[in-house]
Amino acid sequence: MTNTTSIDSGWAISCFSLSIRRHHSTTFIGGYWRYGHGNGAVRAIIESMIDLLVWLWLWLWPGVDQPDDSSATAATSLSVATATVAYVVDGDTVELVGGERVRLLGIDTPEYGECYFTESTTFVRHWLAGATVRLEPDVTNRDDYDRLLRHVFARATSTGMWTHVNYELVKRGYATTLPIPPDRAYRDEFAAAEAAARQAALGQFDVCD
C-alpha cells in the first residue's frame, strides 16, 4: 500500500517551490500529474484548489516579481544631488548638463524685458555657468513647466563652502521672495533677507522701485 502521507507532503513541497516562481496554474496541475499519485476525485479537487490559489496569488500579490518602484523613484528624485550647470536661462532658471532644467525655489527674478532682468541673469551666469552645484529639494518636485524645483548651492571661490544661491539673490536685491505652499523651506530666511535688501535699497530695490 502506498504511503499517502509522504506523497501529499512531497507534492505540497513541489507545488510550493513552483509557486515561488509564479508559473501558471497549468504548470502546477502538470506537476501534480507528473507526480503520478492520487485517485481521480482527489486529483480533481486538488487541481481546482491549486487553480484558485494561483489566481489569488497573481491578483492579490502582483508585485512579488515586479515590485512597484514609484516610491523608490520619488525618494531618489527628491534627494539631494549634485550636477553641473550647462547654461543659465535667466536669474531663477538654469539648465543642467543633460538638458534638465531647474527652477530656483522660493524666489522670483525679473523676466525678460523687465527692470533688472539683465543684471540678475548676468549675476547668476557669472556664478553658476559651468559650475558644479548641489540641488536640494523641498516638497514639490517639478513645476507646471516640468522644471525641477530646487534650492541651489554653489561653492564660494573664496572659502570653498557651499553657498545658498537662492538666498544670495534675495539678499543682494536680485530677486524677491516667492513662497508657494507646500514648499516652506527657508521661507523665513528669504523674507528677512528681502526686508533687509529693501531697507538698504540694494539691487532692484534701488533701481526699479
Domains of the chain by start residue, with CATH = 4-60 (no CATH), 71-207 (2.40.50.90)
**Any bridge partners for residue 95, and if so which?**
87, 101
Instruction: Check if the beta carbon of residue 159 is closer than 8 Å to that of residue 150.
Output: no
Q: How many C-alpha atoms does 194 have within 13 Å on its Cβ side?
A: 16
Distance from C-alpha of 206 to C-alpha of 209, rounded to nearest angstrom:
6
| Global confidence as pTM | 0.63
| Contact indicator for 105, 184 with CB cutoff of 8 Å | no
Q: Give CA–CA dist 207/209, Å, rounded.
A: 6
pLDDT in tens, 3-33: 444 434 343 333 333 343 343 333 333 333 3
